[in-house]
Amino acid sequence: MPSKVAEGAERGWIIPIGGAEEKENSPQILQRFVDLCGDGNSANANIVVIPTASRLSNTGARYEKIFSDLGAGCVTAMDFDTRRDCEERGRLARLESATGVFFTGGNQLRLSTMLGGTSVAKALRIMNAGGVHVAGTSAGASFISEHMIAFGEEGASPTAGMVRLAPGLGLTNRFVIDQHFRQRDRLGRLMAALAYNPFAIGIGLDEDTAAFIRPDNVLEVEGSGGVTIVDAAGIQFSSMDTAVEGQPVCMLGLVVHILIAGATFDLHTRLASAGTLNTQKS
């Protein structure tokens, strides 16, 4: 469950990224994350990179260099290969000194099985509630919320059994994330996940696109793609309870928004806004 924010304190930003974010030519997503972690001065950013989702040995070192090149004052990659690693006091002390934490892509089930229920997971929830910013790309984005899409099938329409859910990190329970969204045709599986959890909001992130979620639960879009918001709060009917494996699912009353950079969505009021796009038009 999400940790409670102390009275008078402010939760850190939560930043899921849809994967394949631009890292060289126009890395505005990663640069904004670094700037946030430095409170406006990137040199003050103290970032811990967690590459546990990836099986590539150079993933952590690559992001260390990327964030250092973007001006971060201190960057440390900390891979947790075993659950025992997640209980080491030295690792926990380094993690708890960070102003920002970044989860790389890979396999989100590696994150949930390695980190779930450990002192690292507990520390991350407490840190975010205390003001530390947490970002994740691709698998790292999926892992951030309480309800995590573990895997599923492609397709624009929901069918029974096309998605499997698992417990995530639990920084919030307000939304369910899916990534590489348009590129991998994942609208159906996000809708299917919401058929199981209609109280949550579905956030589908295109590649090179991020949802910068402020402490007041307003989502700001950054990047070159789109964010698909699927709101099932007003759902009038779902056949998920009677559909058999592979059957299409009827869902009535869904609300869908397509947001691009500059647009916003309030996760509390469930209202979307064109944001700065209105200003540009006028």
Q: Among 252, 216, 195, 256, which Cα is nearest to 12's? A: 216
Q: Among 114, 117, 121, 119, which Cα is nearest to 144's? A: 121
Pure H helices in 85-209: 89-96, 108-115, 119-129, 139-143, 187-196
Q: How far is CA 116 from the centre of its chain?
A: 16
Q: How far is CA 225 from the centre of its chain?
A: 16
Q: Which residues pair with 102 in a beta bridge?
A: 49, 135
Distance of alpha carbon 142 from alpha carbon 105, whole angstroms:
9
Residue 200 tokens, joined:
């949550």
Residue 249 tokens, joined:
């699912």
Q: Which residues pair with 47 in a beta bridge?
A: 75, 100
**Tokens 């096309």, located at residue:** 162
Biggest alpha carbon distance in the chain?
57
Please list the active-site residues. 138, 180, 207
Return the beta strands (E) in 22-128 as ranges: 46-50, 74-77, 100-103
Element (H, E) at 201: strand 201-205
